[in-house]
Amino acid sequence: QVKLVESGGGLVQTGDSLRLSCTASGRTFRRATMGWFRQAPGEEQKFVAAIRSSGAYFVRYADSVKGRFTINTDNSENTVNLQMTSLKPEDTAVYYCAVATGVPSSSYIYTRGDEYDYWGQGTQVTVSS
């Protein structure tokens, strides 16, 4: 049974940094896309960042986090991390880790939630002003 477990959420102040981690168990995800989404209260779920290893690493970020967030995986590719810096109150949300097992063509990165097959339970990130 595949299980994704997120960790690292918490309450921080504007400008602080936070590192989220997600570890997948139950199978090895070679060449899978591992991503992060977030959902703020009253809003729909939104793409944050994703990474895929296919020889080279392909990465994509939402415009709202570009330059502030960094996504990476460990050597086993079963753990994905999201380093968040310069946090803003609008980054407050529940952050979800997800894995897409499809193999897209070229450097395409999945950004839609329905393209992902497995999801974690989420971890709360709250940024106070």
pLDDT in tens, 53-110: 877 889 999 999 999 999 999 867 689 999 999 999 999 999 999 999 988 878 889 9
pLDDT tens across 40-53, in order?
999 999 999 999 98
Q: Is 96 helix (H, G, I), strand (E, B) or coil?
A: strand
The amino acid occupying position 99 is V
Give the separation between CA 29 and CA 35, rounded to whole angstroms: 12
Question: Higher confidence at residue 77 or residue 115?
Answer: 115
Query: Looking up tokens 């949300």, which residue turns up?
Result: 93
Identify whether the C-beta of residue 24 lies closer than 8 Å to the C-beta of residue 51: no
Identify whether the C-beta of residue 95 lies closer than 8 Å to the C-beta of residue 36: yes
Residue 119 is given by DSSP the state E
The amino acid occupying position 112 is R
